Amino acid sequence: MTVLVFGKTGQVATELQAQADVLALGRAEVDLTDPAACAAAIATHRPRVVINAAAYTAVDRAEEDEATAALVNGAAPGAMARACAELGIPLVHISTDYVFDGAGEAAFAPDHPTGPLGAYGRTKLAGEDAVRASGATHAILRTSWVFSAHGANFVKTMLRLSETRNELSVVADQVGGPTSAGAIAAACLSIADQLSADPGKSGTYHFAGWPDVSWADFAREIFAQAGRPVTVHDIPASDYPTPARRPANSRMDCSATQARFGIDRPDWRTDLHAVLRALGIGG
């Protein structure tokens, strides 16, 4: 009886494979644009638990390719969840802060009304709704601002830019919790075990690194830890136009995750040290 992971090359999928003995299915094995193939893989492998760590995560590209994003982020998790419900297998599904509209300054509780601002958030919300409707034992874990030594993320973008720039303008009016992929993988594995033991823990939960910061402050800490002499200038999001609108407030209330599963918000500054070390950068 194994742990089946959708996703193989992604940030969280890579960490899941490093931390546990899992069967990871990449795009070559199962393409999430084919939801029936997701259900068939679950029926074939009959795992102890399923973790969905695959998604269409290109936020700006999703604006012009919402049909593909809707299949991967919406229909595929729905098909996975219905297969899990039929076979009595618990499902851990990862979602995002981008399901919220980003209004206000208070941390969003898991049951706060959603209101995605763009195609990525809309399609991720469709996936959540399909999982909740499936009848499967499930945990939807919303996380935010994922970084790791692998794959594409803000930390690696900042490090790349620092090779040619000593000044950067970074958005300062979007605030959230950077979260390491390693911490998310550990949380998913713990939640998977706890959900198997107690299906009553089914629900929607938040998990984000602490403390909440702006992208500009996140960039400053990256350069400080990496020993890169880059000056970061605060700018409003309106000075950094992108195809997709992003939430100004991505703060998430993670207290239910601590109360229900005993999992604390990880200090992202500590995890950043580890990621930089893994990249051979900084002290």
Ligand X SMILES: NC(=O)C1=CN([C@@H]2O[C@H](COP(=O)(O)OP(=O)(O)OC[C@H]3O[C@@H](n4cnc5c(N)ncnc54)[C@H](OP(=O)(O)O)[C@@H]3O)[C@@H](O)[C@H]2O)C=CC1
Ligand Y SMILES: Cc1cn([C@H]2C[C@H](O)[C@@H](COP(=O)(O)OP(=O)(O)O[C@H]3O[C@@H](C)C(=O)[C@@H](O)[C@H]3O)O2)c(=O)[nH]c1=O
Binding site for ligand Y (CB under 6 A): 57, 59, 96-98, 144-146, 154, 157, 168, 170-171, 174, 215, 237, 240, 246
* CB nearer to ligand Y: pick between 16 and 83: 16
195 binds, among ligand X, ligand Y, none (CB under 5 to 8 A by kind): none
Distances (CA, A) of 120 to 4, 36, 127, 235: 24, 22, 11, 24
Q: Residue 7 touches which of ligand Y, ligand X, none (CB < 5 to 8 A by kind)? A: ligand X
Spatial separation of the C-alpha atoms in residues 7 and 5, rounded to whole Å: 6
List the single partner that 221 binds among ligand Y, ligand X, none, CB under 5 to 8 Å by kind.
Answer: none
C-alpha 130: how far from chain center: 18
Is the separation of the CB atoms in 14 and 181 below 8 Å? yes
Interacting partner of 249 out of ligand Y, ligand X, none (Cβ under 5 to 8 A depending on kind): none
3-state secondary structure at position 175: strand
- The token duo for 132 is 């909740």
- Asked if 8 touches ligand X (CB under 6 A), the answer is yes
**How near is the Cβ of 170 to ligand Y at its closest, in Å?**
4
Q: Does 7 bind ligand X (CB under 6 A)?
A: yes
Report the alpha-carbon distance of residue 274 to residue 267 in Å, rounded: 12
Is the Cβ of residue 92 or residue 230 nearer to ligand X in the bound state? 92
Closest distance of CB 47 from ligand X, Å: 17
Single-letter code of the amino acid located at 44: T
Q: Verify binding: residue 250, ligand X, rule CB under 6 A.
A: no
Instruction: Determine phi and psi for 216, rounding to 5 degrees.
Output: -65, -45
* Residues 85-144 contacting ligand X, CB under 6 A: 94, 96, 124, 143-144
Q: Are strands 213-214 and 175-176 parallel, antiparallel or unpaired?
A: antiparallel
Task: Please select the residue that binds ligand X; options are 50, 70, 72, 195, rule is CB under 6 A.
Answer: 72
Using an 8 Å Cβ cutoff, are 7 and 54 in contact? Answer: yes
Q: Work out how close the CB of 124 gets to ligand X at its nearest, in angstroms, rounded to a whole number.
A: 6
Question: Per CB under 6 A, which of residues 164..203 are in contact with ligand X?
Answer: 181
120 counts as catalytic: yes
Which CA distances in Å does 283 have to 178, 223, 273, 277, 278?
Answer: 20, 12, 8, 7, 11
Catalytic: which of 56, 120, 205, 240? 120
SS3 214: strand
Q: Kindly identify the residues of this chain, within the stretch 40-69, that bind ligand X according to CB under 6 A.
A: 53-57
How near is the Cβ of 244 to ligand Y at its closest, in Å?
7
Cα-based angle 169, 175, 176 (whole degrees, multiple of 5): 120
Query: Which residues are known catalytic residues?
Result: 120
Which residues would be at the binding site for ligand X (CB under 6 A)? 7-13, 26-27, 31-33, 53-57, 72, 94, 96, 124, 143-146, 151, 181
